[in-house]
Amino acid sequence: MSTNSISSTPSPSSGPSTDTLAGKWAATKQQTQRVWALSKPYFSSEHKWQARGLLAAIVALNLALVYMSVLFNDWNKLFYDSLQDKNAAVFWEQLGRFTYLAFAFIVIAVYKFYLTQLLEMRWRAWMTSHYLQRWLKDQAFYRFELARYTPGNGQGQVPDNPDQRIQEDIGSFTGSTLSLSMGLLNSVVTLGSFVGILWALSGGFTFHVQGSEYVIPGFMVWMALLYSVVGSVLTHYIGRPQIALNFQQQKVEADFRHRLLRVREYSESIALDRGETVEKAQLELRFGRVLANYLALIRAQKRLIWFNSFFGQAATVFPFLVAAPRFFSGAIQLGELMQISSAFGQVQGALSWFVDSYSSLATWRATTDRLTSFEAAFQAVAPVADAVTAPADVAVRADDLNVCLPTGAVLLAHTQLQAKAGDTVLLSGPSGSGKSTLFKSLAGIWPFASGTVERGADAMFLPQRPYFPDGPLRDALAYPQAASTHTDAQLSQALVEAMLPHLADQLDRNDAWSQKLSGGEQQRLAFARVLLKKPKWVFADEATSALDEASEATLYQRLTALVAQRQGGLVSIAHRPGVAAFHQRRWVLEPQAEGGEARFRLVEKPA
């Protein structure tokens, strides 16, 4: 095992400064690299051809929609000219043409939507499965929680609310990435398709300076470019605060939801302590942060909407304002004026993609930053090595074992210990001496330990507070194995032996067992698991602390009989004197003199 730590992860404000043009380019490049790093795995995965095929179809449909816009622009000229010329034949002909153009447009738009949603769903499913696997592998979920209490890992440096990142951020990322990328593609292709049309239609703008005549060709194109550039720059400076505010909003919303789940999880304990007032204050505090940040976000969005509304409304009349002199002079007809207006709208809309998408870009940027920090945390935490399977006659052996706290304080240094088949060992020591931490080190899940640990593979650990999944009782009893690996008779017998006969006929009952059962019943259900699976070695950490002495004695008798029959052994942590009678050996954690290398040392004393 090796000592591991979590390094800092990016925050929404990290990265190069954006105060200069070079800084803006560097920030854009960094964002592109982050998106590519998050997107590439799916399009290179085992589903790559299916994913790439769907993406190619969506791109083709987007291009088809742009082509339909070109056809509609051409239709505008013919239709409005027929109105100006009062040409009924052409009018009805163009109405008929509009019918099949509109039908084709609708079909393309529907299938573009369907295939985009299908790709988004499959992409999200793959990413969710991928991150769930990584989060659960090598107890990463456990090590992330430990890192929260490690000095140097403050807010924003360890992945907060991983449940939200997997459940919400992945869905937001896949949907926004597809939507924004296809929107950008449409804008680029639309610009390429309509800029030539607008250039040809707009003609030149003639003006005189000091008696010399000057002509600006494609005047409407330059006006659309100027209009969009000014709008994009102003939008960026007005809307920039939304990036950090969106990032923070996702965090405070998740914190509030997490506190609500904690109240639900510990409802009984809170009720017994009459903690409703405290919990209400804490929930209101967190919800207050949600509202405060949301209010700031609303104000930032209001400023941007003010500008975008003026910008969009002005864009409607701007091409008529510029082209009106040519129309009134007779240089162009109504159809050509409408065609100029349509082409200008397409070019200006393409150039203004950044303006129109800024709020979505801000949310997407925040989501990308959160997933990037999540990814960085996975890479920063080295996996804990699995325990080496020991020979059959050895339960556990540790050589030169060093056990530390997340703070870096050393609990044990250069510790040697060994328990052989047939041994029953009681581990004791003062509170805070690291008994449970030593057990976690022997189990191979404590990341702040180093040295060599060998442990028999056929072992089970009984924690003081066992975990039971919601659902049928048979699943809670067999966890983490499938209940189908045991017969109903075996499951019921284990419950009877664990002094839970009233549950023996309720194997198919669905319930939240961690809430339904008392503390003592939960510990007896954990013993039922051991009696069902019959391991050679059992490590029990205060596993009977919620039981009366008579029940404790009965269960320990059955436990010692089981490990003796299996030619294994037992290592227990317990404070009650009655438990000592079931153990032949005793390990004691004793305080060391101040200034020593470690706070405690492990010694063996008579049982």
pLDDT in tens, 184-237: 888 888 777 777 777 777 766 666 666 676 677 777 778 777 777 777 778 777
Within-domain flag for 429:
yes
Checking if the pLDDT of 17 tops 50, the result is no
Shared domain check, 399 and 373: no
Mean pLDDT of 566-595: 88
Shared domain check, 231 and 99: yes
Mean pLDDT of 323-334: 74
Say how far apart CA 398 and CA 414 lie, in whole Å. 9
pLDDT of residue 381: 64
Shared domain check, 410 and 453: yes
pLDDT of residue 110: 93
Say how far apart CA 242 and CA 361 lie, in whole Å. 9
pLDDT in tens, 446-469: 888 888 888 877 889 998 888 888
Within-domain flag for 13:
no
pLDDT of residue 155: 41
CATH label of the domain that carries residue 406: 3.40.50.300
Shared domain check, 408 and 302: no
Checking if the pLDDT of 495 tops 90, the result is yes
pTM for this predicted structure: 0.69
The strand pair at 471-472 and 424-428 is best described as unpaired
pLDDT of residue 502: 93
Checking if the pLDDT of 383 tops 70, the result is no
Shared domain check, 321 and 297: yes
Shared domain check, 373 and 452: no
The DSSP letter of residue 167 is I
Q: Which pLDDT band, with edges at 50, 70 and 90, does 427 fall under?
A: very high
Within-domain flag for 537:
yes
pLDDT cut 90: percent of the chain above it: 26
Checking if the pLDDT of 145 tops 70, the result is yes
Within-domain flag for 96:
yes
Mean pLDDT of 87-98: 88
pLDDT of residue 149: 58
Last residue of a domain, one of 322, 352, 380: 380
Q: Which pLDDT band, with edges at 50, 70 and 90, does 1 fall under?
A: very low
Q: What is the dihedral of CA 347, 352, 354, 356, to 10 degrees?
A: -120
Within-domain flag for 6:
no
Shared domain check, 396 and 318: no
pLDDT in tens, 119-143: 999 999 999 998 888 888 877 788 7
Say how far apart CA 409 and CA 469 lie, in whole Å. 34
Shared domain check, 434 and 376: no
Shared domain check, 511 and 395: yes
Within-domain flag for 156:
yes
Q: Which pLDDT band, with edges at 50, 70 and 90, does 385 fall under?
A: very low
Contacts 24+ apart (CB under 8 A), 301-309: 301/242, 301/359, 303/238, 303/239, 304/235, 304/238, 304/239, 304/242, 304/358, 304/359, 307/234, 307/235, 307/238, 308/235, 308/355, 308/356
Checking if the pLDDT of 49 tops 70, the result is yes
pLDDT of residue 599: 87
Q: Which pLDDT band, with edges at 50, 70 and 90, does 538 fall under?
A: very high
Last residue of a domain, one of 338, 364, 380: 380
Checking if the pLDDT of 278 tops 70, the result is yes
Last residue of a domain, one of 380, 412, 445: 380
pLDDT in tens, 283-305: 899 899 999 998 998 888 888 88
Shared domain check, 366 and 257: yes
Non-local (6+) Cβ contacts of 553 within 8 A are: 578
Within-domain flag for 462:
yes
Say how far apart CA 144 and CA 99 lie, in whole Å. 59
Checking if the pLDDT of 162 tops 70, the result is yes
For residue 594, the enclosing domain spans 388-606
Q: Which pLDDT band, with edges at 50, 70 and 90, does 154 fall under?
A: very low
Q: Which pLDDT band, with edges at 50, 70 and 90, does 532 fall under?
A: very high
Shared domain check, 316 and 224: yes
Shared domain check, 440 and 322: no
Query: What is the distance, to the nearest Å, from the Cα of residue 62 to the centroid of all Cα atoms in its chain?
Result: 30
Within-domain flag for 92:
yes
**Number of independent structural domains in the chain:** 2
Mean pLDDT, the chain, whole residue set: 82
Mean pLDDT of 95-100: 88
User: What backbone phi and psi angles, to 5 degrees, belong to 593?
Assistant: -60, 145
Q: Which pLDDT band, with edges at 50, 70 and 90, does 13 fall under?
A: very low
